[in-house]
A and B are shown apart, each in its own frame.
Chain A
């Protein structure tokens, strides 16, 4: 299993500013994943972060808007840059851990409101 913590749990930010979300895992993992969940919607994958290399972004997400760092095997950050109200969402980090069944574990999420 994996226990994931995220900081901050929520924030209210002004448009045009940036927010960095931290994700900490209690075990070493190769890949970390970042998702966005807009109000009332399902989860959308933003990017996959591998330690020691640049993140891989999904269609519709770019590094300039959502820069990601992955300095070690237990930690990652996602920055939401130059925010607008459309960025108001819950941002979740996630890891996959192999056991008898491959399970993906999610952090509690960061609720971002942009005014």
Chain B
């Protein structure tokens, strides 16, 4: 599995756009980039996944440059409820038999 590097923590004010960048220089050809979000006292939950270019859903956008050595999770207009730890994971899609391996994640604190 490709090693990932992301900031340990970030602070943001409500209403701002937050961009969290993850570096994964050793990403393999068949690897996908997946982001999970973990609120305090809850298990992580899937946010978004992509392979290249840009992916957008109702929660976030994921930007992946052509070389795929990094990716950026973009959260539009954050609110206090977006305070959480965000994990970037890189690995191949699989048949359900390979568990996720989590790095340290980025602790996002949203301030009023």
B29 within 8 A of A: no
Is B59 positioned at the interface, with any CB of A under 8 Å from its CB? no
Q: Which residue of B lies closest to A104 (CB)?
A: B100
Q: Which residues of A contact B36 (CB under 8 A)?
A: 104
Instruction: Specify which chain A residues have a CB less than 8 angstroms from the CB of B98 in the assembled complex.
Output: 96
Q: Which residues on the A side are within 8 Å of B103 (C-beta)?
A: 42
Give the CA-CA distance A107 to B43 in the complex, in Å: 6
A94-B101 contact, Cβ under 8 Å, with A101-B49, A102-B93, A102-B94: no
A residues contacting the other copy or chain, number (CB 8 A) = 27
Contact of B43 among A42, A92, A102 (CB under 8 A): A92
Sort chain B's interface into a size bin. Answer: 20 to 34
Across the A-B interface, the 10 shortest Cβ-Cβ residue pairs? A106-B43, A33-B99, A96-B96, A103-B46, A43-B102, A42-B102, A92-B43, A101-B49, A31-B97, A42-B104
- Chain A to chain B contacts (Cβ below 8 Å), 26 pairs: A30-B96, A31-B97, A35-B99, A42-B85, A42-B102, A43-B102, A44-B102, A45-B101, A92-B43, A94-B99, A94-B100, A96-B96, A97-B96, A98-B96, A101-B49, A102-B96, A104-B44, A104-B46, A104-B99, A105-B46, A106-B42, A107-B43, A108-B41, A108-B43, A109-B41, A109-B42
Known: A33-B99, A94-B43, A105-B43. 6 other contacts (CB 8 A): A42-B103, A96-B99, A98-B95, A101-B49, A106-B45, A108-B41
Q: Which residues of A contact B (CB under 8 A)?
A: 4, 29-31, 33, 35, 42-45, 48, 92, 94-98, 101-109, 111
